[in-house]
Amino acid sequence: MTPYEFHHVDVFTETPYEGNPLAVVLTPDALPTATMQRIANEFNLAETVFVRQTTNEAMPLRLRIFTPLTEMSFAGHPTIGAAFVAHREGLCSRLHLGC
């Protein structure tokens, strides 16, 4: 299996190991849904978010959010955590957010 870069972040806190834990997986390309589901199950956190860059200027990042059992259409703390990692990793310049 190809290793993917991932980050463990704690959302809604500045103190490590407090707040809402989240895995943010940066993928260079689209992964099959079944693979993302297996990875989320392996992390066994409330949510795991997969982030990949796109070539679409209107939507430069694509997020998919999974629990250990299913995909979610939206969730707040994974979106915030993914934005934090995107900023920290220098992906924000494509988002036109001024970050």
Catalytic residues, by residue number, are 47
Nearest Cα neighbor of 79 from 9, 14, 31 is 9
CA distance linking residue 49 with residue 52, whole number of Å:
10
Helix (H) or strand (E) holding 36: helix 33-43
